[in-house]
A and B are shown apart, each in its own frame.
Chain A
Amino acid sequence: MRFSLMRRQAASSPGASIALALIVLVAAGLFTAWPRLQQTTFNDEINYQIEQTPAPVRALTGAYSGWFLDQGPDSWSRLDASLADAVAGGGPALAASAGMPRYSVTSDEPVLPTLPNGLPTDLVGAGLRLRLDPGIAEHVRPVEGDLPAPSPVDDLLDAVQTQEGWEAVLADGFPATDIMLSVESAQRMGLAVGDILTLPQGFSGGAEIPLRLSGIFEPADPADPQWEFQLNTVRPLIIDDPNTGLHLTATGYVNPDTVGWLNATGLAVMSAEFWIPIEATTTDTPALIADLRSFTGTPQNLEYSSQGPPVEVRFASGLTDVLAGATARWQGTAAVLTMVAAGPAGVTFAILALGARLAVSRRRTTLALVSARGGSGAQVRGMLAVEGLVLGLPAAALGAAVATLAVPSPQPSWTDYLLPAAAALAPAVFLATTPVPSLRASRPDLSARSTSQWRWVVEVVVLALAAAALYLMLQRGIGDATAQADPVATATPLLLALAACVIALRLYPVPLRMVHALTRSRRRLGGFLGSARAIREGSAGVVPMLALIVGISIAVFSTTMITTLRAGTDSGALADAGADIRMSGPVYSEELIAQIAATEGVTDVAAVTTIPNTPLSEDGTIRRLDLYAVDSDALARVQEDVPGALDVSELATPDGDTLPIVVSTGHEVETDVPLELVFSDAVPVSVVGQAEAASGVAEGRSWAIVDLDLLREATGQNLSPRLLLVDVADDADPALVAGALHDVVSGEGQVTSPAQNAADVFASPSAGSMIRGFVIALVVSVLLCIVALVMTLVLAAPARGRLMAVLRTLGVGPGLARSLVAWETAPLTVVAIVVGAALGLALPQLVGATVDLRPFTGDDAQPPIIYDPLLLVGVIAGVVAILTGCVVLASGIARRLSLSVLRIGDAQ
């Protein structure tokens, strides 16, 4: 009986209950999905960064110099096993991300063979390096011939037992040993399969070493990272010496079991390279970073020989830095997203409370009657709590389940379900704690004082909490956001929104009174009555005000953050590139530079010649630095708008024979001693400036910049630039110009524009997820605003209905109801827009002061917060338009609802 009564009671006003359940459903779904999305995005970001990192940089690489090869039959497989053990011992995260360990052993210095067909005419020298790689067969595709066979010399060596025998072998000459070259290497050296090339004297005794080209290969997969690790193998290394000509060095593979032969030739010093590729599959970045650190921190002992000691190899990886950078970037994202999400999450709970109030008010008669007929507080509240649980638990479970299925999480944790659980319990708690209505006729006029006293207390507490949170956040910044969200950082924006709401509610009557004074003299009733009600009935609810302020502030905040990050990224990218377009790679001749300068859209070209490892003599003491010779006049023009550009104005005016240079602060020089750049002749220089960085020109810590023409004059050398910084006309599209320039240089080298780099920055998952997070938060906030406004209108419907009933009897038309509804929402919305916009403009400053945004922009300095007034006004107008539409719709519904209580004198 009791349950059926309860069910009847619950079913008596299903609207509010359904609304509550729906809000819980959506909220639980979002609350569940949010942390999972964050984790997923974090992993995506990390893996994206790993993928973006060139394979050789991200891999664990190690080298061993010196002879350690062993003729034993199992030595390679022992080494394989040892490497696999090392990886397995490096920790589970490393083991999960590590690919198959690889290694090769290569001779250090090229030896110069005698080629059967003579040296091709275009070369002045051809060297050959020998390489052992037991695993190479998987990475090459023989085009002609075969993989190299084991050297016949080994058998011969085994057969020779006596000195006489050895002498005989030396006299007869050795049989040829197989070698395999890439197609292009063979071609450049003029070799065909089967050709014998002879290495100069080797072996003890000085016989020639014949090699037979057993086969030529192409990479099985040209994109195979193998060839990024083994450079100058598929294509021979060709060094262009301006004084002599082209020098070629090819690398050829010999059979891995020819260790004995290699040993006997005594040809070369061999070095081993080891590399363990890291795949972009990590799900636990902190563990991977820890594993990488410990793996690279200690040398690995690799077993090779059954007799010799293990080889000690120290591995290194550029990935730790990449991951640390990605983590920092993610922390920024997480901090900003948490700040954005806190507001709507808080508003959701506020709306659940409002919904509970609505549900209770819809059946206040029933509850009052039940309570007066002897329903104890525990009974009534218990009933409401059970109803809240019946509404909340299944809805939350469904929402959480859908979110769990829809958003896979790499590291599910029970803490992800705390907030959904809170949402599940919220209706029960709010329903049970809402004051139970009483049948006793209430006298709101007689209980005014106590409410206002409590209001002051609550307001002061909210303001104090907001101030304390703000102070804490500014003092200590954002905590480590990888594991758990920083509670202060999470709560601060919400507390600030609450504080703004408190202030708004206090200030709200002031402009309204002015409006009211204006409307008093007018003839229309709507404005007068509406403003009077708004002032005197205090109908401005906390919840809709909070929802509106949070919604508007998120809109403004998100827009500003995107503008700021985009501008910061652009300027960071521009600083990186050093100009609108950066061209690098091949040698740019004077004609080519003239052609580039003549391309449409190009206004200026500055050439940069890099002379690495140039000795700088300070009073006889020589230290090396990277010298950059620049077109200083052109560079000044090209880098006019580039942040962090070097001041090159003094470089072009020499002081007699002395060339002015700018030296990096990373390379400290004595300026009062004679300084000389040591080329074939010494060039006296004087330091005219020191700089920390030279955007787009210099890299590293030790560098100096000098004028290109002056340096050419002083050295007499024709220094060819390999880097061009191109300035694009303001009205030209850099992307189009870059395309045209790409054609001008016939696709050689790299042509990059900062706009491209900026796009890359926004293509990363963390930047993408930040923008998605902004959009989700904005959409949710607008929805919450609508729900809050509708609920408030519905809550106020009975009172409005009674008022309308009275007014109708006085002869007022039904159109007034619309005006009354408008007056219930419009002043609220206007005040909320003003306060919310102010809050939204202030929040980015808070983010700028507490969150490290540099990882996003790639700039060295924290980007300045940039407001785009036009865009902001547009976004606010959009939000207001949506809200207005929904309020008009809602007021229609609300008016319909108020018809049901059109009965004068029906109290409550």
Chain B
Amino acid sequence: MTTTDTTTPAAEAPPRGGEIVCEDVVRIFSADGIEVQALQGLNLHVAAGDLVAIVGASGSGKSTLLTILSGLDTPTAGKASVAGTDLLTMRGRARVNYQRHTVGFVWQQTSRNLLPYLTALENVCLPMSLAGTASVPHAEHLLRLLGVEHCRDRKPTEMSGGEQQRVAIAVAVANSPKVLLADEPTGELDEATSVEVLETMRAVNAELGVTVLIVTHDPTVSEHVRRTVQIRDGRTSTEVLRRRETDEHGQEQHIAEEFAVLDKVGRMQLPHDFVDALELKQRVRLALEPDHVGVWRDTTDDPKPTDQGEAAPSGASNDGSDDANRAEPSERPEPEGTR
């Protein structure tokens, strides 16, 4: 399954945010005899106004993705667009406009978000002034919205970490961007402050309707967002959707469903624990059932002579996610690791 409109945007207000579309995005860094493929055909679709977290281990390519989305880097191949702006063909003036009006971002280190010698208000005014639309009342409004109006005339060194990040968010949304990108916004914060900052981002998402994409390796972040996309080895691998449901007893329940991501040609990644649990290696056997696909361990090389393979299915279907696995019958998903 590719990402679909399974999530619901903030329905109350018409979304002001922008849609993020990545299809088979490839980014290769090359030098003498070395090629590092940071993104290997990444697919991602974030609907306008959505709040999505991207999680992944270091080196999985999530920072590369964010650098590309923030307009600092250009993908080598594929298709990437944010709020209708094609990131592959974006040059010069368009890039500046993109950075001014389409995206805003918050980085992990507070020192990289705020200029140390400017006050909070001045920091918020800076991007507006770069775009030629400096407005002190608007900046004050943003500080108020983010609950840091008391920091108006303080320099970053005089604020707490949480305050700094909230001012940083205000800076990022100063020019009313369509998309807010955040790279480990809670990386240097304690747990309580992290929650505070994440809730602030959720509030910004709700209030301003801006699409928010948070990149993190912090698993707790995913609890604050509707949708979490996992990146592994330069590709999106699985997604977790969260929703709240009121069950028949009138109790609100947090429901988290995990999905594997399927690309246009039908490739998908099996989660590591699945592969480990069944000792899946090199190849697996597939079987198309009426409402799901079965995956079995390849036992042809197993020492047992009696084993007839198909007769003794030892595999498992993706329990709990039947409806997410709609592979075309003609295509066989390849095991992870082969290309």
Q: Which residue numbers of A lie inside 8 Å of B, CB to CB?
A: 1-2, 5, 8-9, 11-12, 365-366, 368-370, 372-377, 379, 438-441, 443, 445-449, 906-907
Contacts and interface: CB of A to CB of B under 8 A. Distances in A.
Interface in B168-216: 171, 175
Contact of B127 (A9, A374, A439): A374
Contacts of A12: 115-117
A42 B29 CA distance: 62
A365 B117 CA distance: 12
Nearest to A374: B100
B126 A370 contact: yes
B118 interface: yes
A374 B131 contact: yes
A8 to B, nearest CB: 5
Contacts of B117: 8-9, 11-12
A372 B70 contact: yes
A453 to B, nearest CB: 10
B99 A374 contact: yes
Interface string B20-63: 00000000011110101000000000000000000000000001
B113 interface: yes
B81 interface: no
A585 B97 CA distance: 93
Contact of B67 (A2, A365, A441, A906): A441
B111 A449 contact: no
Q: Residue among A439, A906, A907 with the most chain B CB within 10 A?
A: A439
A374 B175 contact: yes
Given A374-B100, A374-B127, A8 B118 contact: yes
Nearest to A378: B96
11 contacts: A5-B126, A5-B129, A8-B115, A8-B117, A9-B115, A12-B115, A12-B117, A376-B96, A439-B72, A439-B107, A440-B73
Contacts of A446: 29-31, 34, 36
Nearest to B172: A373
A2 B34 contact: no
Given A8-B122, A12-B116, A906-B111, A373 B130 contact: yes
A1 B31 contact: no
Given A448-B32, A906-B111, A5 B175 contact: no
Contacts of A906: 109, 111
B304 interface: no
Nearest to B99: A374
B134 interface: yes
Contacts of B111: 365, 906
A443 B99 contact: no
B96 A369 contact: no
A373 to B, nearest CB: 4
Nearest to B136: A1
B126 A449 contact: no
B118 A5 contact: yes
Contacts of A8: 115, 117-118, 122
B85 to A, nearest CB: 13
Contacts, number: 83
Contacts of B96: 374-377
A12 B73 CA distance: 28
B72 A440 contact: yes
B125 interface: yes
B93 interface: yes
Contact of B72 (A2, A11, A438, A443): A438
A440 B112 CA distance: 11
Given A11-B117, A440-B72, A448-B32, A5 B67 contact: no
B259 interface: no
Contact of A449 (B31, B70, B72, B118): B31
Nearest to B32: A449
Nearest to B29: A446
B127 to A, nearest CB: 4
A366 B105 contact: no
Contacts of A440: 67, 72-73
Contacts of B63: 441
Interface in B69-85: 70-73
Contacts of B93: 376
Nearest to B33: A449
Given A440-B73, A446-B36, A372 B134 contact: no
Given A441-B67, A446-B29, A447-B31, A373 B129 contact: no
Contacts of A373: 99-100, 104, 126-127, 130, 171
A1 to B, nearest CB: 5
A211 to B, nearest CB: 100
Contacts of B116: 12
A283 B229 CA distance: 84
A448 B29 CA distance: 12
A445 B31 contact: yes
Contacts of B30: 446
B50 to A, nearest CB: 23
Contacts of B115: 8-9, 12, 366, 369
A483 to B, nearest CB: 47
A1 B129 contact: yes
A369 B113 contact: yes
A365 B112 contact: yes
Given A373-B99, A441-B67, A447-B31, 16 more contacts: A8-B117, A9-B115, A9-B117, A12-B115, A12-B117, A372-B70, A373-B100, A373-B127, A373-B171, A374-B96, A374-B101, A374-B127, A440-B67, A446-B30, A446-B31, A449-B31
A295 to B, nearest CB: 68
Contacts of B105: 372
A375 B92 CA distance: 11
Nearest to B63: A441
Contacts of B92: 377
Contacts of B130: 370, 373-376, 379
A369 B115 CA distance: 8
A18 to B, nearest CB: 16
A1 B125 contact: yes
B20 to A, nearest CB: 18
B179 to A, nearest CB: 13
A11 B112 CA distance: 19
A274 to B, nearest CB: 80
A2 B126 CA distance: 8
B70 to A, nearest CB: 7
A372 B99 contact: yes
B31 A448 contact: yes
Contacts of A379: 130
Contacts of B125: 1, 5
A209 B100 CA distance: 115
A362 to B, nearest CB: 12
A1 B100 contact: no
A551 B238 CA distance: 64
What 6 A-B pairs are tightest by C-beta distance, nearest first?
A374-B100, A376-B96, A374-B99, A446-B31, A440-B72, A373-B127
A798 to B, nearest CB: 13
A441 B61 CA distance: 13
B246 to A, nearest CB: 43
A369 B104 CA distance: 11
A375 B96 CA distance: 7
Contacts of B107: 439
A375 B107 CA distance: 17
A385 B112 CA distance: 24
Contacts of B134: 1-2
Contacts of A372: 70-72, 99, 105
A5 B130 CA distance: 10
Nearest to A383: B130
A365 B125 CA distance: 18
B185 to A, nearest CB: 15
A503 to B, nearest CB: 24
Contacts of A2: 129, 134
A9 B67 CA distance: 25
Interface in B288-315: none
B126 to A, nearest CB: 6
Nearest to B96: A376
